[in-house]
Amino acid sequence: MFSEKRLLDHGAVAVRHEEMKRVLTIAGSDSSGGAGMQADIKTITRIGCHAMSVVTALTAQNSEGVQGVYLIPATFVSKQIEALMADMVPDAIKLGMIFTASSIKAVARLVGKYGIPTLVIDPVLKSSTGSDLLEPGAVDVLRNTLLPLARVVTPNLHEAEVLTGIRVRNLEEMEEASRAIHALGPAVIIKGGHLQGESVDVLFDGKKIYHFRGPRIMSSHTHGTGCVFSSALAAFLALDHSLEKAAKNAHDFVRGAIKKAYPCGRGAGPVNPAGI
């Protein structure tokens, strides 16, 4: 067990079990354990919330890449969500890899039906090794059906380009893209881990631009950074942090996970949200 001091040192909150907030991750499974649902569960638990999960796809992958994807039918994705909503309504939902337009529509319908106020969308388009994780044609469905329901969306530079059609390679372009995405409804955090030089995340809440900066951490073991960021953000929002504070805490949490990353396999190793 982690001590309360160690939890608080990592920007997390120690709570009694009867007060524990619930965070649901709707995402794909990463058989290597570094990203996807596995990274989400580690992150949510580390921050002090109860992690729940709905599986959208199974992947056969290791540190070198994705060898295959087995899709969960949209009807069963819906069944998993309905089962939870009947008994354990989440305080926040983190949405990661969905892959199919039919599953996107099913999730949008249920989020609307149950009125979950805190939906964090990580618009996963490709794996870190370049494999497609969203079927062709599903981007428009994601943009038009789910983004308007989200409290915040967390694209990286490439994902922001796909969502907006705007070139996103520097801080000024990140700010322009964040405003364009916000026009669809949600607040926006564009992650700047792929920027040249300093790493900067940009938050636009509809009124103000915020920058969260940090010197680049030189590491080849960065598998799972996007998943950890979005699930950390969802957990901090579930704990009633303001969006600005939750974004700053998620930024710092990912930096800590990168600093404690480790090699595992022949490819890029995972970041370490468990903090051990």
Interval 102-127: pLDDT, tens: 999 999 999 999 999 999 999 988 87
Amino acid identity for residue 106 in this structure: A
Q: Enumerate the β-bridge partners of residue 66.
A: 61
Active site residue 94: no
Quick one: pLDDT at residue 198?
82
25, 100, 118, 222: which is the annotated catalytic residue? Answer: 222
Quick one: pLDDT at residue 136?
82
Instruction: Reply yes or no on whether the pLDDT at 79 is more than 70.
Output: yes
Quick one: pLDDT at residue 85?
97
70 phi, psi to nearest 5 deg:
-110, 115
Quick one: pLDDT at residue 13?
54
d(CA 6, CA 4): 6
Active site residue 259: no
Tokens found for residue 167: 């070139």
At 227 the three-state DSSP class reads helix
**Architecture of the domain defined by 21-156+210-259:** 3-Layer(aba) Sandwich (3.40)
Active site residue 45: no
**Of all helices (H) and strands (E), which one includes residue 112?**
helix 101-114
Instruction: Reply yes or no on whether the pLDDT at 14 is more than 80.
Output: no
Interval 164-220: pLDDT, tens: 999 999 999 999 999 999 999 999 999 998 787 788 999 999 999 999 998 889 899
Tokens found for residue 53: 């999960």
Instruction: Reply yes or no on whether the pLDDT at 17 is more than 70.
Output: no
Interval 227-270: pLDDT, tens: 999 999 999 999 999 999 999 999 999 999 999 999 999 999 99
Tokens found for residue 173: 């372009």
Active site residue 154: no
Active site residue 145: no
21, 94, 191, 248: which is the annotated catalytic residue? Answer: 191
Tokens found for residue 128: 């870190």
Domain ranges of the chain: 21-156+210-259
**Of all helices (H) and strands (E), which one includes residue 132?**
none
25, 42, 227, 267: which is the annotated catalytic residue? Answer: 227
226, 256, 269, 275: which is the annotated catalytic residue? Answer: 226
45, 59, 118, 225: which is the annotated catalytic residue? Answer: 225
Quick one: pLDDT at residue 69?
93
% of the chain at pLDDT higher than 90: 82
% of the chain at pLDDT higher than 70: 93
Half-sphere exposure (CA, 13 Å, Cβ side) for 16? 2
Interval 36-69: pLDDT, tens: 999 999 999 999 999 999 999 999 999 999 999 9
d(CA 158, CA 234): 22
36, 48, 224, 275: which is the annotated catalytic residue? Answer: 224
Choice among 128-132, 140-144, 186-190 with the minimum mean pLDDT: 128-132
Q: What is the mean pLDDT of residues 64-90?
A: 96
Q: For residue 135, what pLDDT band results from cuts at 50, 70 and 90?
A: confident
